[in-house]
Chains A and B, each alone.
Chain A
């Protein structure tokens, strides 16, 4: 089997439930050129090195489009790229501005102050399962919870969820490089249209918040910060789109993957029930073992880069397969074992370098609160089907549904 077909097999839907044996195969060639010119990097130290390598760009405008990718620059006709797809200095400026109402140094308590809200939301959702013996962890819990959180944080009315849910789905599908369905090009165009729609919706909302500010992030971003630099109205809309999507499409998978993993490892589930403090290392292990973002397919080499005995040529697209690096035996002893107490767990689950997950502190807290409460309150939970049905997307990977049976809930 050549590595060219290997990456295709990984993005193929058949591999979605368990891509890890294919990642192990991929790691035999740490930096593997694919037949379409993509370089797949699959080992820990090589990925970690490239995440901090200034010769690697996240800006699609630096890409020499490969066959079938000619449309990639069409994005310029829609909304401009968010900071996720920009390089410094633009990236640094926008991310710094977005951080002001979210984290240190200006807002060090924003996330920790949400703990009470998070606990109330989780309690409410689990209360809703009280009289049931079956639930879909995705529909009944892991999807609604992060949406409530991101709505509260940004100041987006929760009742608009039906509207932006459709756009969010289309935007996330645009990240899917797989050949199935209508194909990546058509999905990217659909994503672009959805981004415009969502942007229009959020632009209206931002205007409302400017007139009548609340304690939320959009109000803070719209108001600016005294006489310090601020985002332009268009940058604000683009950033709001990014935060809304990233805030609710990844945490769903983190929580769902978490529950699935716990149900497959009853010892870990029992330990979490008995010692809730375990939630902290357990969520880190989850981010290593089943990361919601499996790979970063959007980087481009700006210069020839020697890595892992291979020269990635200038202009080549580079895929960083985070989920594979997380299972690299050269970095993690016994990497295929789920060990909730694992120490020295510097996983790649949140990426690394300047694009390290913006919402990481919030995602961690959400997963810790959610999994601790699910473990504590559901009586004898068990999987109904294993593996569960998965979403198509190989980048943001997670179950579409996670049916579980249980014998009621404790208060």
Chain B
């Protein structure tokens, strides 16, 4: 049996690669395996019954009725010659025996495994309320189809809970279709967690300009149904009640790692930890050599950002990390590559194209270097310890590669040079206004046990939700 001895060549010729997760990262990884000459057996396992499809259109074109939810299949780069187990969730992993357990009880042996199980929408916290007709989330194609149908039925008012990127895109689509929307956001402004309060204030203006009933600093305390089980209204933390035909819960994502509980991998609510070469860590922090991770579920150290473990729910990251993971699965040690992707994402809402590079929440300050906040078209650069750490653009995305270079070269903050469309008076650093990071999180913990070096063990403790 190959791989135990790390023989990449043997694996490449005759090995069995198993990919758990049949979305963007899983598909691109599988294609890269074949591209790089992997001639062995390939098994693709996915819990959804659909072939791999693209998700960004689900909160945009699909909700506007321009594309059907089933029409966003990902283009294929090449034929895969894989065994597809779709509609089949993985339920467990036996690291020592190199086996993946499936929902039906079947087991699939692997020589090398790629974990790309991604995330799912964080459900509404109270199950009975979440089950009401009219309470929705948006993550999958089926979710999008349900929400699109709901919007087709012309609801009198939609409540969007959470004004992150997904929530804002849903809100934007509703307004474009002329549907009244109320947004309940716990923070002081939309997008505040990702982009900070300064840019969040611009997002808030966009909401207002498009007729959104935006309520910040507000949480939803309860969703109430009628006797038939249909959503009737929401109770808000300011004591008011809001009637709504539909509520979309857009409170971020939960990483699909439950199936790895007890497997011995360093997997938990924050994802599966892996090294820069996409190899998973076990719970002791020792790197494995036959289990790889890519996409939204991965959490890996990035040298450019102080070797912090980043988990990125970005389309481009899923593709880049999948390619690196697949390359490393079939390559001997010296030929392996690090995943050094510069974080980047985009969003389209209220007619504005929003793009970002780097890690904005690491920035304590920002400076507007092009355009202006007032015109809602600008490039903002974020600073961290005297250097450029991120940039965000509103309708200015074409310049972003330049700011990406500034991040990669650790350029001084604030950047100050003559340039086109320079903000009047030049860039002046101001606080970026991110929420206090000392707030409690859902992070997991570990405990150490044993005394002798050979007995020291780490035990993973799931987060108390």
Query: Which A residues are within 8 Å of any B CB, using their own CB?
Result: 48-49, 52-57, 59, 87-89, 92, 105, 302-303, 314, 343, 353-354, 356
B206, CB-defined interface residue at 8 Å = no
**Interface locus among B138-146, B180-188, B399-407:** B399-407
With A54-B420, A55-B419 as known contacts, state yes or no: A49 contacts B401, CB within 8 Å: yes
The reply to whether A302 and B419 contact each other, CB–CB distance below 8 Å, is yes
**Chain A's nearest CB lies how many Å from the CB of B279?**
26
The reply to whether B395 and A303 contact each other, CB–CB distance below 8 Å, is no
**Chain B's nearest CB lies how many Å from the CB of A60?**
13
What's the Cα separation between A302 and B417 when bound, in Å? 8
17 contacts between A and B (CB under 8 A): A52-B400, A53-B402, A54-B420, A57-B420, A88-B370, A88-B371, A89-B375, A89-B377, A302-B417, A302-B420, A303-B417, A303-B419, A314-B418, A343-B77, A353-B398, A354-B398, A354-B399
B351, CB-defined interface residue at 8 Å = yes
What's the Cα separation between A134 and B172 when bound, in Å? 58
B421, CB-defined interface residue at 8 Å = yes
What's the Cα separation between A13 and B308 when bound, in Å? 56
Contacts of B398 in A (CB 8 A): 52, 353-354, 356
Interface residue ranges of B58-96 to A (CB < 8 Å): 77
Contacts of B421 in A (CB 8 A): 54, 87-89, 92
Residue from A53, A88, A302, A354 having most chain B Cβ neighbours under 10 A: A88
Residue interface bits B383-418, CB-to-A below 8 A is 1, else 0: 000000000000110111110010000000000011
What's the Cα separation between A397 and B369 when bound, in Å? 37
**Chain A's nearest CB lies how many Å from the CB of B381?**
11
The reply to whether B402 and A87 contact each other, CB–CB distance below 8 Å, is no
The reply to whether B371 and A89 contact each other, CB–CB distance below 8 Å, is yes
Contacts of B370 in A (CB 8 A): 54, 88
Contacts of B377 in A (CB 8 A): 89, 92
Contacts of B420 in A (CB 8 A): 54-57, 59, 87-88, 302
What's the Cα separation between A344 and B172 when bound, in Å? 34
The reply to whether A49 and B405 contact each other, CB–CB distance below 8 Å, is yes
Closest to A353 in B: B398
- Tell me the interface secondary structure of chain A in the complex: loop
Contacts of B379 in A (CB 8 A): 54
**Chain B's nearest CB lies how many Å from the CB of A378?**
31
Contacts of A87 in B (CB 8 A): 420-421
Contacts of B401 in A (CB 8 A): 48-49, 52
**Chain B's nearest CB lies how many Å from the CB of A81?**
14
What's the Cα separation between A116 and B370 when bound, in Å? 42
**Chain A's nearest CB lies how many Å from the CB of B373?**
14
Contacts of A89 in B (CB 8 A): 371, 375, 377, 421
Closest to A86 in B: B420
Contacts of B395 in A (CB 8 A): 92
**Chain B's nearest CB lies how many Å from the CB of A133?**
42
Contacts of A354 in B (CB 8 A): 398-399
Q: Top 3 nearest A-B pairs by Cβ distance?
A: A54-B419, A88-B421, A87-B420
**Chain B's nearest CB lies how many Å from the CB of A228?**
11
Select one of A55, A88, A105, A356 contacting B418, CB under 8 A.
A55
What's the Cα separation between A150 and B145 when bound, in Å? 40
Interface residue ranges of B345-370 to A (CB < 8 Å): 351, 369-370
Residue from A54, A56, A302, A303 having most chain B Cβ neighbours under 10 A: A54
What's the Cα separation between A48 and B405 when bound, in Å? 11
**Chain B's nearest CB lies how many Å from the CB of A302?**
4
**Chain B's nearest CB lies how many Å from the CB of A316?**
13
Contacts of A314 in B (CB 8 A): 418
**Chain A's nearest CB lies how many Å from the CB of B34?**
13
With A55-B417, A303-B419 as known contacts, state yes or no: A105 contacts B399, CB within 8 Å: no
The reply to whether A353 and B351 contact each other, CB–CB distance below 8 Å, is no
Closest to A57 in B: B420
Interface residue ranges of B253-270 to A (CB < 8 Å): none
Contacts of A356 in B (CB 8 A): 398
**Chain B's nearest CB lies how many Å from the CB of A297?**
18
**Chain B's nearest CB lies how many Å from the CB of A402?**
34
What's the Cα separation between A54 and B416 when bound, in Å? 12
**Chain A's nearest CB lies how many Å from the CB of B79?**
14
What's the Cα separation between A28 and B295 when bound, in Å? 39
Apart from the given pairs A54-B419, A55-B419, A105-B351, 13 other A-B contacts in the complex at a CB distance below 8 Å: A49-B402, A52-B401, A52-B402, A53-B402, A55-B418, A88-B396, A88-B420, A88-B421, A89-B377, A92-B377, A302-B417, A302-B420, A353-B398
